[in-house]
Amino acid sequence: MISVLRKAATSLLLITLVAFAARSAFALYEARQIPAQALRVIPFQTETGHIAYSLASGKGFSSPFQRDSGPTAWLTPVYPVLLAAIFKLFGIYTLRSLFVAALLNILFSTGACVPIFFAGQRVAGLGVASVAAWLWALFPNAVILPFEWVWDTSLSALLAATLLWAALVLAESPRVRDWPLYGLLWGFALLTNPALALLLPVLLLWAAWRSPARGRQRLICPLLAATIAFLCCVPWTIRNYIQFHRLIPLRSNFAFELYIGNNENYDDAHRLRPGAVTQDREILRYLHMGETAFMDEERRKALAFITANPRIELRLITLRFAEFWMGTPTPIATFRETPSPLLRALLLCNYLAPVGALLGVLVLFWRKSPYAILLSAFPLVFPLLYYLTHTSLRYRHPIDPVVLLLAAVAICGVRRVDAAFPTADQRMATPIPPPV
């Protein structure tokens, strides 16, 4: 009986089936709570949905606020194009399109169980791999977000986990041809979520450092992968230059995001964050000025606020740090003031995940694991962009699979250190398939 339970607990097939069932059940439950008229429109009322609408309507990659405003580089192309294809096949703003988009997000989120399982198995054995995959399968954010956000969020989580797994495989591969393939994967990831770019040099350098290649090959291989990733982005960059007559490698909206988190509406009495930027006012300015001039003005205002208020900016960075990891700049007060036991449980899960990740990083360094630097880069490097702009738990989601993998390292490392961290000989005795 114990062996059967152990086999079930470590079954990747069972884990993925449970993950898919949990996400599907939540989506069906939520869909029944919302009137159909609202359900077919409201989830698409985002920049992603508006650009997809323009693409499906034959107006090109344009109009992030649905009002005709011409070409845009507000987002990178992968997810809006995917959503536009759904609109073409199943209708613009229809229930069928919403369900297909939600199903794809559910599949992306469920699929992240696979790379995080095999990454965990390479890092610390089957126990850590199983715990990490189970944590991701049942993590509340991972269950909720595929339906709640018709965005690249779930796809980005799958890509981040796959990039980690592929880096682990690449570091042990003697084949030079694997590096261009890794570059292609990175190119697709950058055109999906440019925020992942901060991890690119870390993963490439780590894989090169651990690679069996020697001499010049150790330098050439990561340069080859980086070049392939760069070349994947070149057509999109050329398109942006033709449309806006300036170099916009991936996205144009960084200045606006910077202004949202650093603006003159800051209220020193409340000392939490700048006041909300009125979207209607900003949209009108965007429509009147055009995207290029609008972004130039947002950058000027944001930098003026930052340079004029260095102490306030330092405080805002601290608060954004707390909000990125806890979902709120005041986690203790929020937990106390939340009346619902269910919401408190959700908050607690989000509070414990980064704590577990921190402990996992400490365990890896304590055990002198060769994977410590690689895994710790995800929570240390990826959030830097959001500490400067603005954030929420949704922005943390792409690295949540790795955060939970680190939490699994902490759980297994605290209970049974030797079993959780097998020797190299033990790992070699259990072959692990490379990513497809």
User: Which of 9, 1, 4 has the alpha carbon at shortest distance from 126?
Assistant: 9
Coil vs helix vs strand at 71: strand
| Mean pLDDT, the chain, whole residue set | 89
pLDDT tens by residue, 309-318: 999 999 999 9
Rounded mean pLDDT, 195-222: 89
What does the alpha-carbon distance between residue 135 and residue 131 come to, in Å, rounded to a whole number?
Answer: 6
pLDDT at 207 over 70: yes
- Burial annotation 356-369 (CB, 10 A radius, 16+ → b, else e): bbbbbbbbbeebeb
% of the chain with per-residue pLDDT over 70: 92
- In the chain, domain spans: 2-429
Confidence at residue 231, expressed as pLDDT on a 0 to 100 scale? 97
User: Which of 122, 118, 113, 123 has the alpha carbon at shortest distance from 364?
Assistant: 123
Confidence at residue 66, expressed as pLDDT on a 0 to 100 scale? 80
- Residue 166 pLDDT grade (very low, low, confident, very high; cuts 50, 70, 90): very high
**3-state SS track over 93-108:** CCHHHHHHHHHHHHHH
Phi, psi (deg, nearest 5) at residue 191? -80, -5
CA 376 to centroid of chain Cα atoms: 15
% of the chain with per-residue pLDDT over 90: 72
Tokens of 56: 């499906």
pLDDT tens by residue, 242-301: 999 999 999 999 999 999 889 887 765 545 556 555 566 777 888 888 999 999 999 999
- Burial annotation 141-159 (CB, 10 A radius, 16+ → b, else e): bbbbbbbbbbbbbbbbbbb
Confidence at residue 298, expressed as pLDDT on a 0 to 100 scale? 92
Non-local (6+) Cβ contacts of 250 within 8 A are 73, 76, 190, 191, 194, 197, 233, 236, 237
Confidence at residue 425, expressed as pLDDT on a 0 to 100 scale? 41
- Residue 436 pLDDT grade (very low, low, confident, very high; cuts 50, 70, 90): very low
pLDDT at 422 over 50: no
Confidence at residue 39, expressed as pLDDT on a 0 to 100 scale? 92
What does the alpha-carbon distance between residue 118 and residue 433 come to, in Å, rounded to a whole number?
Answer: 8
What does the alpha-carbon distance between residue 123 and residue 254 come to, in Å, rounded to a whole number?
Answer: 35
pLDDT at 214 over 50: yes
pLDDT tens by residue, 95-144: 999 999 999 999 999 999 999 999 999 999 999 999 999 999 999 999 99
Instruction: List strand residue ranges (DSSP E) for 282-356, in order.
Output: none
pTM: 0.91
pLDDT tens by residue, 50-97: 999 999 999 999 999 888 889 999 999 999 999 999 999 999 999 999
Confidence at residue 268, expressed as pLDDT on a 0 to 100 scale? 58
Q: Furthest-apart CA pair in the chain: how many Å?
A: 70
- 3-state percent helix, strand, coil for the chain, nearest multiple of 5: 75, 0, 25
Confidence at residue 274, expressed as pLDDT on a 0 to 100 scale? 60
